[in-house]
Amino acid sequence: ACLARIEALNPTLNAFLHVDAEGALAAARAVDARRAAGDELGPLAGVPIGVKDNYCTTDMPTTCGSRMLQGWIPPYDATVVKRLREAGLVIVGKTNMDEFAMGSSTETSFYGPTRNPWDTDRIPGGSGGGSAAAVASFMVPLAVGSDTGGSIRQPGAVTGTVGVKPTYGGVSRYGLVAMASSLDQPGPCTRSTEDAALLQAVIGGYDAHDSASLNMPVPDLIAAAQAADLTGVRIGVVTEFQGEGYERGVLERFAEAVELLRAAGAEIFEVSCPAFTYALPAYYLIQPAELSSNLARFDGMRYGLRAGDDGTHSAEQVMNLSREEGFGREAKRRIIIGTYALSAGYYDAYYGSAQKVRTLIQADFTKAFETVDVLISPTTPTVAFRIGERMSDPMSMYLADLCTIPSNMAGNASASFPCGLSDGLPVGLQVMAPPMADERLYRVGGVLE
Ligand code: GLN
């Protein structure tokens, strides 16, 4: 059924870049065989799933939405992919994304934009718009994404799906093509809170291959998602993430959701986090800095695109030509910003200052969590915007992640849950919990359904 649905809708939505129908059917049959052999498989065994195209997969290409890696098949599986396979999930294909996960609309993909199933003239969010659109359009019930500044949560919000960014270190980044290593975090994209809990339970937990992996038990996320009660839970509404710049419909749905949480037993407070205002500018120094260093490996020599290799160019020229042809505009913009911010003489002024802001954001979170259990805000200031609307203005594109970035900067757990429609388009509510308290996200999300 999933394959038929993909065949019918993918030509319009472009959510999947690669579909492996035969491989998926074989994987499904293998699950049957394992069951017949008495293998104790978990609750998601046999369930089809889409995987964002920045996870290494040995049986499918991994392009990261870039021309640079067109057709590249990795030599190993990412830990997330390995765990999905071990748990018997059926990987149907690889989902579209902004190039190397830079963007908020999936428009920077070399393979064309993904369209939002709610309105195909609009963006499905980014960078993981392919995963979100695939789940929202019932192509697959589950998908995985990666969230560096909001790339799971913002697509979740604008497609009416659940998107979770676990605590940094909660899910292994091994085999996830690195974008900004201190911010990147894999997580679930699903239609319900319970589905997300089941999926995080499969992909989460310690992995020796990720140096930042947390060696601690995954909390009982499923029980939290099913609790359906918020008695005694203290919820803080972030003062800085409301008012000017937020669409009226978004604020209305948010206010209604707050009442729902109150009715479920939560106590609601208003909490000011002044440093959150500086999260976006600080992110756009730290993120390009780390990205410029991570993308340096794409040099036309080791793997990926090699341009100008016709015997008439020097190695350095081949390197330049490969990068010129292999990277799109946004990747080049950020490489330039990042290398500049890291250059001698500017390092302290830019990267150093941004790291100090990061510490202030962490301090705001720590202080807030002394009085409340979770913080909430709209996930994104507006509903899905139109394709093309923000492509010529990077600043307006960056604003889509205004509310999601603080959690990446601090390494917190954070998620977006659907909270209704504004003029027929989905609105998301963001929940932010302290590091290693992911179960609190699920407890709140479970009530919103
Ligand atoms: N939209 C943000 C950016 O472009 C976040 C991307 C992400 O989370 N991968 O950097």
CATH number at residue 65: 3.90.1300.10
Per-residue pLDDT, 217: 85
Confidence at residue 418, expressed as pLDDT on a 0 to 100 scale: 98
Expressed as residue numbers, the domain containing 133 is 2-224
* Whole-number pLDDT of residue 356: 98
Asked, for residue 199, whether it belongs to a domain, the answer is: yes
What would the pLDDT profile of 149-173 be if each residue is shown by its tens digit?
A: 999 999 999 999 999 999 999 999 9
Lowest-pLDDT range, 83-92, 127-136, 264-273, 340-349? 340-349
Judged against a pLDDT cut of 90, whether residue 196 lies above it is answered with: yes
Average pLDDT (89-116) is 98
Share of the chain above pLDDT 90, in %: 98
Complete DSSP assignment for 309-371: -SSSS-HHHHHHHHHHHHS-HHHHHHHHHHHHHHSTTTTIIIIIHHHHHHHHHHHHHHHHHHH
**350 CA distance to ligand 1 centroid (A)?**
19
| 24, 137 Cβ separation under 8 angstroms | no
- Mapped onto helix, strand or coil, the DSSP state of residue 20 is coil
What average pLDDT does range 189-202 have in this prediction? 98
**Span 63-85, average pLDDT:** 98
- Structure-block tokens of residue 116: 């939002």
381: in domain: no
Tell me which amino acid residue 38 is. Answer: G
For residue 25, the model assigns a pLDDT of 98
**Substitution site in 52, 64, 102, 396 for ligand 1 pocket (most atoms within 8 Å of beta carbon):** 102
pLDDT at 449: 81
Report yes or no on 230 lying in a domain: no
Given a cut of 90, whether residue 18 has pLDDT beyond it is yes
The DSSP output letter for 385 is P
291 Cβ neighbours under 8 A, 6+ residues apart: 100, 102, 179, 180, 334, 335, 338
ipTM: 0.97
Residue-wise pLDDT for 364-413, tens only, equals 999 999 999 999 999 999 999 999 999 999 999 999 999 999 999 999 99
Average pLDDT, the chain: 97
Q: Poorest-confidence range of 2-11, 43-52, 63-72, 301-310? A: 301-310
Atom of ligand 1 nearest to the CA of 287: 10
pTM: 0.98
Classify residue 447: in a domain, yes or no: no
d(CA 315, CA 297): 15
Residue range 282-302: mean pLDDT, rounded:
96
Report the C-alpha gap between 409 and 407 in whole angstroms.
5
Going by pLDDT thresholds of 50, 70 and 90, the confidence category of residue 69 is very high
- Residue 151 annotated among the catalytic residues of the structure: yes
Question: Which segment of 116-120, 188-192, 346-350 scores lowest on mean pLDDT?
Answer: 346-350
Give the pLDDT of residue 79: 98
Q: Does 9 reside within a domain?
A: yes
The answer to whether 323 and 314 are in contact (CB under 8 A) is no
Residue 120 covered by a domain: yes
- How does residue 218 score in pLDDT terms, banded at 50, 70 and 90? confident
Count of the separate structural domains present in the chain: 1
Query: Ramachandran region of residue 300, left (φ > 0), alpha (ψ -120 to 50) or beta?
Result: left
Q: Examine the residue annotation and report whether 105 is marked as an active-site residue of this protein.
A: no
Q: Give the pLDDT confidence score for residue 197 in this predicted structure.
A: 98
Closest ligand 1 atom number to CA of residue 102: 4
10 Å Cβ neighbour count for 313?
14
Q: What is the residue with the minimal CA distance to atom 10 of ligand 1?
A: 102
Averaged pLDDT, 37-49: 96
Would you say residue 50 lies in a domain?
A: yes
293 is catalytic: no
Residue 397 placed within a domain:
no
Residues within a 6 A CB radius of ligand 1:
101-104, 126-127, 147-151, 179, 287, 401
pLDDT the model gives residue 62: 98
| 400 CA to centre of own chain | 13
User: Which pLDDT score is estimated for 303?
Assistant: 86
Which tokens go with 345? 């003489």
- Answer whether the bond into residue 127 is a cis peptide, omega within 30°: yes
Query: Which of the four pLDDT bands, split at 50, 70 and 90, describes residue 185?
Result: very high
How many Å apart are CA 28 and CA 33, to the nearest integer?
A: 9
